[in-house]
Amino acid sequence: AVSLGKMVILDPAPAKGNLPDSIWKGVEYIKPNETELEILVGRSLNGEEERREAAEQLRAKGVKNVMVSLGGDGLLLVNDEGCRFFPANKVNAVDTTAAGDCFTASFALALSKGEPVDAAIRFGQNASAIAVTRKGAQTSIPTLEEVLNYAPEL
């Protein structure tokens, strides 16, 4: 994909350790959750500072943007502009199955439509906030109309 000039968005699930450094070159966005980030860097992480340092490790290998999913707490974005936190929408979650996949797909869709990164992250968060209020995987994924009409509570 990189050789064809395509944007690479990687959701490393299930994560594997000891990957060759060459895999990271050209990855525009990676979205591990906390556990996946620990596996990717090969150590336990405690707190925001250690998660940020781990994200910087991936960036040093060639990843441009690291988005660490923190579940119901939100998302940490680490890139050239620094480290930013995006709080999660407050919802009554009933099933978190497919929440990460829903976020990543919705984030990619928003980027493909020309949205800036912040707006794409919020769009992904809105879609996954809807998804966790429903049971199932594919059946929990909202329609585009539902996401566009969603008014999040922060």
Q: What is the pLDDT of residues 104-138, one digit of tens each?
A: 999 999 999 999 999 999 999 999 999 999 999 99
Report the distance separating Cα 120 and Cα 124, nearest Å: 6
Q: How far apart are CA 147 and CA 126, in angstroms?
A: 6
Note if 101 is an active site residue: yes
Tens of pLDDT, residues 41-80: 999 999 999 999 999 999 999 999 999 999 999 999 999 9
Catalytic residue among 21, 80, 101, 118: 101
| Rg of the chain on CA atoms, in Å | 15
